[in-house]
Amino acid sequence: MQDNKYGEILAFMVSLGCPKNFVDTEVIAGSILTGGVGITPDPEEANIYIVNTCAFIPTAREEAESVIKEALSWKKKLPKKRKVVVCGCLVQWDKDFAIRNKFKKVDLWLGVDNIPHAGNLILEALSETPKANPLPVSHPEYLYDDLTPRLQLTLPHFAYIKISEGCSNMCSYCAIPNIRGKLRSRSQESIVKEASNLLAAGVKELILIGQDTTAYASESGSKESLSALLKKLDKLKGDFWIRLLYTHPAHFSSKLIDTIAQSEHVLPYIDMPLQHISDKILKSMNRKTSSSQIKKLLDKIRSAIPDIAIRTTLITGYPGESSKDFDELLGFVKEQKFQRMGTFVYYPEPSTPAASLQGQIPAEIAVERLDNLMKAQSKISLSFNKSLVGKVFDVIVDAVDGKNVGGRTFMDAPEIDNRVLFQGKIKPGTFVKVKITGASKYDIKGVICPKK
């Protein structure tokens, strides 16, 4: 830790929300470390309590407020020696300063564009004459690159690479463009350099993320594309995986399908939030695709990549969703048999078009529909997992507790998908061949295959 004029300073950090937000937390960590502020896993050792927030839906904001309250309780024990810093999406979302006014004891509020400067801004907040809180810009432009200080906080063997920031899709229910700004993409050169650095540091799984990865570089009008980027990354040397998250059906090209099918390192795994299948609902959502286009795309992907694992997410209770619309969605889920699926209840987000639509669905009906979807999916998941018994997969090891080992197949993104449970003496980050011997709804069991 570098010296600074404020003496020894340690920060305790809490990261809320999705992996995209987690990368911001890693950038904040890198920024404060370069400024001479250390990091501790114990809040009682810390001088600073940093909360990087999510504000995507009301439950995320409620969680953020709960953690802010915890941080302020921590500060109250030693009010003259402790500072609370709140960062990220909630600060951007809070256009009318309602959250700031609610938590006046917070010492520093940092919006999205403040993230790479967090170190200097936090040190300024510690001074005897701190500057006023920087106001978050209305339209964020921040975009980190391979030269941005960043501390990898995931397990050492996997890392997220954010290839773009913001979104220009303007889905009617989504507040992300208002929070994060329009789509802006990193250069291929910067992404490949970051990937090379991570691989050199021992990373075995590169996970590409963005609000819509399939829209990568589309705002620039250049020849760069997600397919071209994947081809460059695939040429990197080593034994590693590339996982692709958050694709959009309207932007999923035939070229991208071919690239995934022909690559050495890109996993046959696609995270594609479809949100719904009713044409009426898709049109109201401004998803820029139709039921028939989605079904044709899924058929095309499965035909070109027979062993593909597809994860999707769906929304229930969107305004105007009739029983017929939901029955169509439920039938679609049963028909498609997605290997992985998540479901969300619709929330009317302020300042989004959907919030003012007629036909808002009562929460209890939306929850009931969500439960019905997940009941159907749990049966599909159990049946699929049972079909894996007897098969052998490459598994990346995540956790070891004595002889008990937890890992993932190519079908499983960290912390959101299934686990493979087995026994053995092996180090985290290792690839090992495992034969599947048992299955439950969301986990599978196996044994390590003997080496030949």
The CATH number covering residue 65 comes to: 3.40.50.12160
Q: Is 180 left (phi over 0), alpha (psi -120 to 50) or beta?
A: alpha
Question: Please, what is the Cα angle at 124 between 43 and 129, to 5 degrees?
Answer: 110
Question: Of 85, 65, 81, which is closest to residue 25 (Cα–Cα)?
Answer: 85
pTM comes to: 0.95
pLDDT of residue 126: 80
Q: For residues 279 and 135, give the distance between their C-alpha atoms in angstroms, rounded to a whole number.
A: 41
pLDDT of residue 7: 56
Q: For residues 359 and 327, give the distance between their C-alpha atoms in angstroms, rounded to a whole number.
A: 17
Q: For residues 241 and 257, give the distance between their C-alpha atoms in angstroms, rounded to a whole number.
A: 17
- Residue pair 341/49 in contact (Cβ under 8 Å)? The answer is no
Helix (H, G, I), strand (E, B) or coil at 167: coil
Q: What is the pLDDT of the chain when averaged over all its residues?
A: 94
Question: Three-state SS across 356-397?
Answer: HCCCCCCHHHHHHHHHHHHHHHHHHHHHHHHHCCCCEEEEEE
Helix (H, G, I), strand (E, B) or coil at 6: coil
Same domain as 425, residue 363: no
Same domain as 55, residue 169: no
Q: How many folded domains does the chain comprise?
A: 3
pLDDT of residue 2: 45
Q: Report the relative pairing of strands 340-345 and 392-401 from DSSP bridges.
A: unpaired
The CATH number covering residue 420 comes to: 2.40.50.140
**Domain-embedded: residue 142:** no
Question: Of 33, 19, 21, 22, which is closest to residue 11 (Cα–Cα)?
Answer: 33
The CATH number covering residue 192 comes to: 3.80.30.20
pLDDT of residue 289: 97
**Domain-embedded: residue 146:** no
Same domain as 274, residue 360: yes
- Residue pair 397/255 in contact (Cβ under 8 Å)? The answer is no
Same domain as 410, residue 377: no
DSSP state of 217: T
- Residuewise pLDDT in 10s, the chain (452 residues): 445 554 588 999 999 999 999 999 999 999 999 989 999 999 999 999 999 999 988 999 999 999 999 999 999 999 999 999 999 999 999 988 999 999 999 999 999 999 999 998 988 888 777 777 777 777 889 999 999 999 999 999 999 999 999 999 999 999 999 999 999 999 999 999 999 999 999 999 999 999 999 999 999 877 789 999 999 999 999 999 999 999 999 999 999 999 999 999 999 999 999 999 999 999 999 999 999 999 999 999 999 999 999 999 999 999 999 999 999 999 999 999 999 999 999 999 988 999 999 999 999 999 999 999 999 999 999 999 999 999 999 999 999 999 999 999 999 999 999 999 999 999 999 999 999 999 999 899 999 998 76
**Domain-embedded: residue 430:** yes
pLDDT of residue 4: 53
Cβ neighbors of 305 (< 8 A, separation 6 or more) are 257, 260, 261, 268
**Domain-embedded: residue 365:** yes
Domain encompassing residue 433: 392-448
What one-character-per-residue DSSP string does 295-347 give?
HHHHHHHHHHSTT-EEEEEEEES-TT--HHHHHHHHHHHHHH--SEEEEEE--
**Domain-embedded: residue 134:** no
Same domain as 305, residue 364: yes
Helix (H, G, I), strand (E, B) or coil at 100: helix
Question: Of 165, 122, 176, 120, which is closest to residue 142 (Cα–Cα)?
Answer: 165
Question: Which string of b and e fits 38-72 if b means at least 16 CB within 10 Å?
Answer: bbeeebeebbbbbbbbbbbbeebbebbbebbeebb
Question: Which string of b and e fits 283-294 if b means at least 16 CB within 10 Å?
Answer: ebbebebbbebb
Same domain as 193, residue 89: no
Domain boundary (348, 369, 386) is at 386
Same domain as 361, residue 217: yes
